[in-house]
Amino acid sequence: MTRLFTGRRPTTQPPSLDGAELLDAVGPEAIEVHARTLAVGGHLACTLVVTGYPAEVTPGWLAPLLNFPGHLDIALHIEPVPNPVAAAGLKKQRARLESGRRAGLDKGRLDDPEVEAAAADAAELAYRIARGEGKLFHVALYLTVHAPDEDTLAEQAAAVRATAESLLMTVAPTTYRALPGWLATLPLGIDTLKIRRSFDTAALATCFPFASPDLPISTDTNGTPQGVLYGLNAVSGAPVLWDRFAQDNYNSITLARSGAGKSYLAKLELLRLLFTGVTASVIDPENEYVRLAETVGGEVIAPGADGVCLNPFDLPPATDDAQDVLTRRVLFLHTFLALLLGTEATTAEKAVLDRAIMAAYARAGITPDVRTWQRTPPRLDDLTAVLAADGSGTAADLADRLTPYTTGSHAHLFNGSSTCSASGHLVVFALRQLPDEVKAPAMLLALDAIWRQVAHRADRRRHLVVVDEAWLLMRDGAGAQFLFRMAKAARKYWTGLAVVTQDADDVLASPLGRAIVSNAATQVLLRQAPQAIDTISENFHLCHGEREFLLPAGRGEALLSTGDRRHKVALISVAAPGEHEVITTDPRELADQLLDRPTEATDADDFHHDELPNNGAEGRP
């Protein structure tokens, strides 16, 4: 909470400006001035002045006014007061308040709570200014309501007044000063009314809308809003800040149809989180994060490329509290082999595989004893050798089904010792060159390598794991189960799991998928297909307006939710030109970059690639 200084404005008034002079250069075709309203061209306007403020406020407290659904112009005029002038004014203010309080006591009157609070505020502010901890400002807040007719104007003005009074503010109309009131809210930077109050630095900072009113605001110990910029509020244009690491869990789910901008938004958040010290790992099936990793000095691992291999039998570093790691490793291998073979193993096959896995580790000299875990782990061909020596028909069939991955076309990907590490401030597993048949097992293997680094790292820093195109993994039961376990356990290691997918059915059609959604405190929905909107609406508890927003939503327009029906905000994601150049995947823009002919990109054009200038890129590959 920040207390607002309740001192009165100075008695001296700067000279006022003539409205006719301001409108002489440019203005509407006609202005008709009434007592409280103004006819500007083809519509009416009236201005309300804020004359009283609440005693205590929180950051972003003006956001309900900024998100007013009607046509409302808000002007906040700020004029700094030099410290010597502020100190002299506060001294007089304190003397006046103290003398009034003592006079009342001498006459036997009770203490006036408002006078006592004003005296305490003035004393506290005087000491802060003397210590250089703050400054004093003269602040004026004006609200101009626009409407096409008188009845609508009266209705809208009453709604604005009700909203302001709900914030414990006192407002008054600009009677006989309608023209100066309207001019004060134009983008001219001129205060024609001069109806001001005194604010200190802390109180003034809370008036800036650096948070969405529909989302809970995360602050540090000093009361400063935390998080990264997701975009601009679709209604008010106010910045939307969100800190996933300040929520109950750090996971997120992003759902959208193809081409809606979900990967763009995920890359934008990732880039901004990196600047806050967050480390990250990315499962990238389409190589969309490679340029981002190269720009920020991250590491790109391309499984399947020459000399790049991940061994599913690798064990994590030995620790004192890791007595059951070998058992958990065997369970992971059951999941991996089920995904690799493409079918759920029968009870007999699970029994055979369990014996073979334990025997393969034993042949490599690895036992439940932690001291043996430093030895070279077995490989996939060691497992098939054990299966071949088993002698049973089930073991021989499993060995034959594993042949493509041990000696066949995919042996270079799955059969070998690990040649890379998932450590670093940003590690991207680029899987685009892999065939679709082995992309899901490769994603699971990369996720496992990431998880071993996360769960056994020495430094406890915030970490983000991004799984793009997660439908490739979740369409298989074993892959969805691994993601679910990761979503449940990630919070214990200060890690967030960001699931990005375009197929809502693969996520919401299964109990595991719905469980992953329920364990995501950050939920982002972009444009949805009509065929999927009913499922999305039911599972995310969308109202009619939110449903209608998502169906025709443009590229980059999203609905950010905390999983609570009360906390949702519609936003438009924007990127700076430098950010856009790093994360865009538009083929035309990439072709221009390769030819050293960058296209012009503004915040409004970041997602609307089809509206960007052609620049002769037509016909390029």
For residue 198, what pLDDT is reported?
84
Residue with tokens 């059609």: 509
User: 278 pLDDT exceeds 70?
Assistant: yes
CB atoms within 10 A of CB 49: 18
User: 111 pLDDT exceeds 60?
Assistant: yes
DSSP 208-246: S--S-TTSPPPB-TT--B-SEEEEEETTT--EEEE-GGG
User: 503 pLDDT exceeds 80?
Assistant: no
Q: Are 38 and 46 in contact (CB under 8 A)?
A: yes
- On whether both 90 and 143 belong to a single domain, the answer is yes
Question: Does some domain include residue 371?
Answer: yes
Question: Does some domain include residue 73?
Answer: yes
- On whether both 155 and 134 belong to a single domain, the answer is yes
Query: Which domain, by its residues, includes 126?
Result: 2-205
Band the pLDDT of 6: cuts 50, 70, 90. Answer: very low
User: How far is residue 576 CA from its own chain's centroid?
Assistant: 16
- On whether both 521 and 600 belong to a single domain, the answer is no
Model pLDDT for residues 74-83, shown as the tens digit of each residue? 999 999 988 8
Query: Could you give the count of Cα atoms lying within 13 Å of 471 in the half-sphere of its Cβ?
Result: 16
Q: Which residues contact 489 (CB under 8 A, 6 or more apart)?
A: 455
User: 611 pLDDT exceeds 50?
Assistant: no
Model pLDDT for residues 28-47, shown as the tens digit of each residue? 778 899 999 999 888 899 99
For residue 604, what pLDDT is reported?
37
Question: Does some domain include residue 435?
Answer: yes
Q: How many domains does the chain have?
A: 4
Residue where a domain stops, chosen among 377, 392, 417: 417
Residue where a domain stops, chosen among 144, 178, 205: 205
Band the pLDDT of 596: cuts 50, 70, 90. Answer: low
Band the pLDDT of 620: cuts 50, 70, 90. Answer: very low
Q: What is the mean pLDDT of the chain?
A: 83
For residue 323, what pLDDT is reported?
59
Band the pLDDT of 2: cuts 50, 70, 90. Answer: very low
Band the pLDDT of 8: cuts 50, 70, 90. Answer: very low
DSSP-derived letter for residue 537 is: H
Model pLDDT for residues 172-202, shown as the tens digit of each residue? 999 999 999 999 999 888 999 999 988 888 8
User: 21 pLDDT exceeds 80?
Assistant: no
Q: What is the pTM (predicted TM-score) of this model?
A: 0.69
Model pLDDT for residues 488-499, shown as the tens digit of each residue? 999 999 999 999
For residue 425, what pLDDT is reported?
92
User: 606 pLDDT exceeds 50?
Assistant: no
- On whether both 582 and 568 belong to a single domain, the answer is no
- On whether both 487 and 529 belong to a single domain, the answer is yes
Residue that wins the pLDDT comparison between 96 and 321? 96
List the CATH number of the domain containing 502: 3.40.50.300
- On whether both 260 and 394 belong to a single domain, the answer is no
Rounded-to-integer distance, Cα 159 and Cα 145, Å: 10
Rounded-to-integer distance, Cα 323 and Cα 326, Å: 8
For residue 460, what pLDDT is reported?
76
Band the pLDDT of 23: cuts 50, 70, 90. Answer: low
Strand partners, 229: 241
For residue 619, what pLDDT is reported?
34
